[in-house]
Amino acid sequence: MSLVRRQFLSRAALATSVLGAPIVASAQSKGTFNWKMTSAYGKGSPFYMDGPGSATDLARRIKEMSDGRLNISVFGAGELIPAFEGFDAVRAGTVEMNHANAYFWTGKTAAAQYFTAVPFGMNFQGMNGWLYDGGGIELWNEVYAPFGMVAMPCGNTGVQMTGWFKKEIKTAADLKGLKMRIPGLAGKVYASLGVDVKVLPGGEIFPALERGVIDAAEFVGPFQDRRLGLQKAAKYYYTTGWHESSTVSELLINKAAWDKLPKDLQAVVSNASAACNVISEAWCQKANSEAMDDLVKNQGVIARPLPDDVIKALRTETDKVLAELVAKDPLAKKVHDSYFGFKAKYDRWSEISEEAYHTRVRG
């Protein structure tokens, strides 16, 4: 065999050994993954389960963006597990994903509340600034690390409504003794003012309000509330959502499953979730504006802001509740300080940008 031929074969063998590994790895990285995602909301629920930016829409986008390599079967509340058992199911690996709101898990870790909404907190723009560029998502994953889970935002309702009341609220004293459906830190704030707080899944709110099991209820906003029929059980609809000025939907993922995904599929999930975060909030603006007009003009709903002294009382109690929370939980304090530190900077900017526009330019 000639020297030239021996050199050619040697180089070809070397090329095969060097290039072979990436080819095998590439083939492995293109494997198909079939996951399950549960939700805290019932099948067919607008925004959460159906429509732009919903759990179903998120799963569709992930499938299309991954060219069918990551397929996610979506289950509404009660189909696979009860509404509020998503945390435990993902932690155990029973399902790979859950679509809900982090404040449902405050019994597991108090810091979870901050990744959904904080009373008198930030709006949609400010919340996204903190999550994506202010260290919020990193803190979110630090909070969930002991449970073997990661999370990211995948939706947002924008500002919510205070809720539905059977009787007019004139002073803070009118809250005392009311039985009200309200989750999260806001529930603790109301409780400190004498409200008997209830936490009910969305599907149970209307019958409870209609039968008088509860006297008041908060859910989301005009479109979703109208769909539940809450306007048929109570006529006083108060604004504005002091308790949830920007309500984040959470995509909760089992970390062991997440780590098995190739980097490109992790990027697909992250980018699809970010897209749904923006798209869902945009949908809410249109849907809620139309629904609010209908509720007031056609269905006899009395919409009005909470009286100033009620807002003042709620703010005072919020400060106390948050102070007690961070005093008991160092991790919650770390998240709290990051959140409100970012909010202080954002508020200064918003005052000369967004607020200036709304008060002086928009007319």
HSE, CB side, 13 Å, CA atoms: give it for residue 105.
29
> Which residues does 354 contact at the CB level (< 8 Å), separation at least 6?
125
Q: Which of 4-8, 180-184, 219-223, 232-236 has the lowest mean pLDDT?
A: 4-8
Kindly report the pTM of this predicted structure: 0.87
Between the two ends of the chain, the Cα-to-Cα distance in Å is 89
> What backbone torsions phi and psi does residue 268 show, to the nearest 5 degrees?
-60, -45
**Amino acid identity, residue 28?**
Q
| Residues 220, 160: Cα–Cα separation, whole Å | 5
Cβ atoms of 185 and 149 closer than 8 Å: no
Q: Which of 6-15, 145-154, 315-324, 350-359 has the lowest mean pLDDT?
A: 6-15
> What backbone torsions phi and psi does residue 283 show, to the nearest 5 degrees?
-60, -40
| Residues 85, 308: Cα–Cα separation, whole Å | 38
The pLDDT value recorded for residue 202 is: 84
| Residues 243, 123: Cα–Cα separation, whole Å | 11
Helices (H), 67-116: 86-92
pLDDT, tens digit, 9 for 90 and up, residues 146-202: 999 999 999 999 999 999 999 999 999 999 999 999 988 899 999 999 999 998 888
HSE, CB side, 13 Å, CA atoms: give it for residue 192.
15
pLDDT, tens digit, 9 for 90 and up, residues 82-108: 999 999 999 999 999 999 999 999 999
Nearest Cα to 222, choosing from 282, 124, 169, 294? Answer: 294
pLDDT, tens digit, 9 for 90 and up, residues 332-350: 999 999 999 999 999 999 9
- CB atoms inside a 10 Å sphere around CB 18: 9
With tokens 């074969």, the residue in question is 9
> What backbone torsions phi and psi does residue 329 show, to the nearest 5 degrees?
-135, 105
Cβ atoms of 285 and 221 closer than 8 Å: no
Question: Which DSSP string corresponds to 289-353?
Answer: HHHHHHHHHHS--EEEEPPHHHHHHHHHHHHHHHHHHHHH-HHHHHHHHHHHHHHHHHHHHHHTT
Q: What is the mean pLDDT of the chain?
A: 91
| Residues 128, 280: Cα–Cα separation, whole Å | 13
Domains in the chain: ranges and CATH: 33-113+121-154+248-279 (3.40.190.170), 163-245+287-361 (3.40.190.10)
